[in-house]
Amino acid sequence: MDRNQITKWLKAPAKMANKYSLHAIYFCTGCGIIEVPPVITARWDAERFGIIPVATPRQANLFLITGYVSVKTLKAIIRTYEQMLEPKYTVGFGSCPINGGMYWDSYNTIKHLDKYIPIDGWIAGCMPRPEAIFIAVTHLWTLIEKGMANGYVRYKENYEFYRKNQEMALGKLDWPALYQINSDSKAVEYE
Amino acid sequence: MNESIKEQLESTFKAVVVNILEDSRIVVDVKKEQVLTVLKFLKDRNFDHLALVSCVDWIEEKEFELVYILTGYMQGEKEYTGQERLHLIVKTRISRQSPQFETVTGIFQNAEPYEREIHELFGVKFEGHKRLTPLFLERDYEIPPFRKDFDTRQYVQDVFDKIPFVENNDK
């Protein structure tokens, strides 16, 4: 352990523990997933950074979206994101989730993933090198330390609007709302 | 091998145009009434694997072109070597105004998903197909999205760009 971090550990042990044990679920969409096997295995060894891949979203708190997001994939992404444990962090990997990338005028590809779920960080590039994942992770550490990686809090606060956007893209959603939607609770009060 | 298939096709069917490309590919242009019999004829001559059914939108000629790609694995009694494998491309044109065609699932059963795909993305209706249900698409499109007159840019502006950002991006 780094000696000059001892004060940080004593001040906020939970935050530091979160920071150094990210359990990643790699969502295998698009071409970015090809960069992930070398990252998690011996060549680049993501465990140096405390990242370990897990099998299911219910064990994970880091979500890497590695490629273009089609309408069908978006449905799976939202369901995965909603199952993950808090505090959860999302990183969009590659230029396609950012603004559509080379699929910017496709009939079936979602541009701007942050309209549908909150994103804590982006890795730009087509494709980013595996090292870019580690740069993103170290940035994410700083954000966690400063309390700025608060996508899951923003999701809770703005859930009504996120859900509305999701319904605009996907039609009627066939799963219940994760959080109580404020406008509904108001309607109940007025009755 | 190439020449014998060409001779057999040209002697059996009228109005069949056979072109031999360089790399062991044969292109057979047939009329749409002949497709089923030509495919049956070729299946009996060891072209027993339908690799792909594809569709091309020739919007200026107001026609769809259906493409059937056939290969054969076993050439008679001989043992299979990849060297002598032939690719046979059967092409036909159908009208674009009323895109209807007969299914080939009676001859090649594995044409079923390909025909469903073409039905969904090009709007070609295959008569006799037992399961022309949606395959890939999640959204409803007025014009099937792989047709040339489907304006993807306009569609993106009308649908995906109209969805607002949740949070202020300037922050």
Residue (of A87, A63, A88) closest to A77 by Cα position: A63
Worst-scoring range by mean pLDDT, A21-30, A167-176, B39-48, B82-91? B82-91
**pLDDT score of B69:** 93
Question: Residue A186 — very low, low, confident or very high, per pLDDT cuts 50/70/90?
Answer: very low
Nearest residue of B to residue A70, measured between CA atoms: B138
pLDDT in tens, A88-120: 999 999 898 988 888 888 888 988 898 999 999
Mean pLDDT of B10-26: 83
- Taken in order of first residue, the domains within chain A and their CATH numbers are 3-150 (3.40.50.12280)
Q: In this complex, do A104 and B165 lie within 8 Å of one another by their Cβ atoms?
A: no
**pLDDT score of B171:** 44
- How many beta-carbon pairs under 8 angstroms link A with B? 53
Q: Which two tokens stand for residue A78?
A: 């939202």
Check if the beta carbon of residue B122 is closer than 8 Å to that of residue B147.
yes
Q: Which residues contact B115 (CB under 8 A, 6 or more apart)?
A: B53, B103, B104, B105, B126, B129, B132
Is pLDDT above 80 for A129?
yes
**pLDDT score of A187:** 40
Question: Residue B112 — very low, low, confident or very high, per pLDDT cuts 50/70/90?
Answer: very high
Instruction: Please tell me the pTM assigned to this model.
Output: 0.83
pLDDT in tens, A137-167: 999 999 998 888 888 988 988 888 899 999 9
Q: In this complex, do A161 and B166 lie within 8 Å of one another by their Cβ atoms?
A: yes
ipTM for the whole complex: 0.78
Residues 85-104 in A contacting B (C-alpha not used; CB under 8 Å): 104
pLDDT in tens, B69-108: 998 776 656 666 666 677 889 999 999 998 999 999 999 9
Q: Of the candidates B138, B155, B156, which has its C-beta nearest A71's C-beta?
A: B138
**Which letter does DSSP use for residue B134 in this model?**
-
Share of chain B above pLDDT 70, in %: 90
Which stretches of chain B are assigned E, i.e. beta strand?
17-20, 25-29, 49-58, 63-71, 87-95, 100-102, 125-127
Enumerate the residues of chain B whose CB falls inside 8 A of the CB of residue A161: 164, 166
Q: In this complex, do A115 and B141 lie within 8 Å of one another by their Cβ atoms?
A: no
pLDDT in tens, A29-81: 888 888 888 988 999 998 989 899 998 999 998 999 988 899 989 999 999 99
Mean pLDDT of B54-58: 94
Check if the beta carbon of residue B124 is closer than 8 Å to that of residue B146.
no
Instruction: Please tell me the number of Cα atoms within 13 Å of B145 on its side-chain side.
Output: 18
Is residue B53 classed as helix, strand or coil in its secondary structure? strand
**pLDDT score of B93:** 93
Cα B133 → chain centroid: 18
State the average pLDDT for chain B: 86
When comparing pLDDT for B168 and B113, which is higher?
B113
User: Which residue, chain included where needed, has tokens 């099998």?
Assistant: A55
**pLDDT score of A178:** 86
Residues 9-68 in A contacting B (C-alpha not used; CB under 8 Å): none
Is pLDDT above 50 for A185?
no
Is pLDDT above 70 for A15?
yes
Mean pLDDT of B58-73: 90
Q: List residues in chain B touching A: CB distance below 8 A.
A: 136-139, 141, 145, 150, 152-153, 155-156, 160-167
**pLDDT score of A35:** 87
Q: In this complex, do A114 and B166 lie within 8 Å of one another by their Cβ atoms?
A: yes
| A2 phi/psi in degrees, rounded to 5 | -70, 125
**pLDDT score of B126:** 92
